[in-house]
Amino acid sequence: MGKKVKNSVTINLADEVRSSTNLVYVDRIIEDIVNDKIYIDPNFQRRDAWTMEDRKEFIDSVYKNMVSNSIILVNVIASHQRAKFHNRHKEIEYFGNLVDKGYEYVSIDGNNRSQTLVKYHKDELNIVYSHDKDREIFLRRKQLPVTVYDSMTLEQMHELGIKINKGKPWNRQEQRNCLYSTISFAIREISKKYSDITDRISVKKNRMGDDELLVMFLYYETYKRGGVQDSWDVMYERESGDVNTFTKVMTEFGKVLRTTNKKSIDKSFVYNLYMVLSYLQKKNISIKNDSYSEFLKIFHKQEVLRKADKRALYEVNGEQKTWGDLCRLIASNTEYRLEKILNDLLPKVSNITVEKDSKRTFNLSDKIEIWSKSEGNVRINGVVDGKWFNPNDETTHVKLSLLEVLDSKKYVVDHIKPHKGGSKTVIENGEITTKEYNLWKSDGEPNYV
């Protein structure tokens, strides 16, 4: 019998992929990027982290033929054909969308190098070389190594992105961003949606510090405690984050912070704010529509007072700590901080918050009773926040039979006074409307109450 080898690894040959590496002229690379032939997918690329010195150094390396690392691309058309052959619906949609837009390749690695070439070509780097008079010759004659993979699955592309950058100085969040996980997709979407807010938070966005802060929020939302890098990794790998609730809390988070023009917001401040909004969400308490600015002012004032009071000490695990000590490690001491914040805050905001009715929607029996009480009248038009739904015809109601209104694709029961503002889901506050009118009205205040 053969000797068993320690730490042996079995390779599945079906996982092998084919690639080829060639030298490609710089002007061809630039042309493909400018003409949208190469798709820079944020799933696989870290953000633009190069400084001006990095860009100068790279251009210098190209001039001197000293670039050894390949730009890594994946063939879009071949990958699309492979996805269709294996009937992988998600990949058919992903690659098919790129094919429809005219892309030929997806870039897995080399974004900073590619963008630097484009900027140099457009004279946007403000770099002057002694041989800049020969710039066009440089673009036509210089070559870079480009590796093209014939076809890959999405999972293989994510794996390749991680393997390429092993040993390179990616931080933990940049590595998590490249994981094939629903969490990474969700964080990217939320990050994009609230980028105007994270622009003002004291984090390093070029190294995904904003995304990492969102990961901290999501971890807290899921486990109601702070976490560390390893625990955030596990959440990604197990796809265990409560994305649904996190998204709802982030909606309130956005509404609160968009009321301030403050340009530099402390990380511990926004983490504490998120914990409070998460608590309110859990308790079904809502901030009134016109009170987000006032809520933030009260919260901010109390945070400043707590931080300024060096005499106030809190005992945590037998140690005396100031508020600054408690907040220094952002994701630690969360239960102590939240308890103190709520004790200070809730009495001050009782008049600008409402406890939402636990019954969110009307049921079928409610719909029938409302139809009966209204004698078959269904709202098709009205004035909300001073505007008509249909200003060309001020007819507000039509009479319909019960069978007609039971068609839920056309007719729904709407809260007359919005549920978001604290109004109850009771018969007296319900009326049947067309679906189109209900969507238009949203949480607006009707002028006919």
Whether 250 shows a pLDDT value over 90: the answer reads yes
pLDDT in tens, 22-55: 999 988 998 998 899 999 887 776 666 678 888 8
User: Alpha-carbon distance 386 to 395, whole Å?
Assistant: 16
Q: Which of 24-38, 109-123, 373-387 has the lowest mean pLDDT?
A: 109-123
User: Alpha-carbon distance 68 to 251, whole Å?
Assistant: 46
Encoding tokens for residue 412? 């729904």
Element spanning 21, H or E: strand 19-25
User: Alpha-carbon distance 333 to 50, whole Å?
Assistant: 36
Q: Report the range out of 92-96, 136-140, 156-160 with the highest average pLDDT.
A: 92-96
| Domain ranges (residues) in the chain | 17-169, 185-355, 364-441
- What pLDDT is recorded for position 242? 95
Model pTM? 0.56
Strand order in the sheet with 411-415: 397-399, 377-379, 430-434, 411-415
* Band of residue 9 on the pLDDT scale cut at 50, 70, 90: very low
- What pLDDT is recorded for position 421? 72
- What pLDDT is recorded for position 1? 43
* Band of residue 194 on the pLDDT scale cut at 50, 70, 90: very high
Where is pLDDT greater, at 397 or 204?
397
Residue type, 109: D
Transcribe 267-297 into DSSP letters. HHHHHHHHHHHHHHHHTTEEE-TT-HHHHHH
**∠ Cα 111 154 165 (to 5°):** 45
Encoding tokens for residue 339? 């308890």
- What pLDDT is recorded for position 13? 46
* Band of residue 123 on the pLDDT scale cut at 50, 70, 90: confident
User: Alpha-carbon distance 376 to 101, whole Å?
Assistant: 50
Average pLDDT value over all residues in the chain: 86
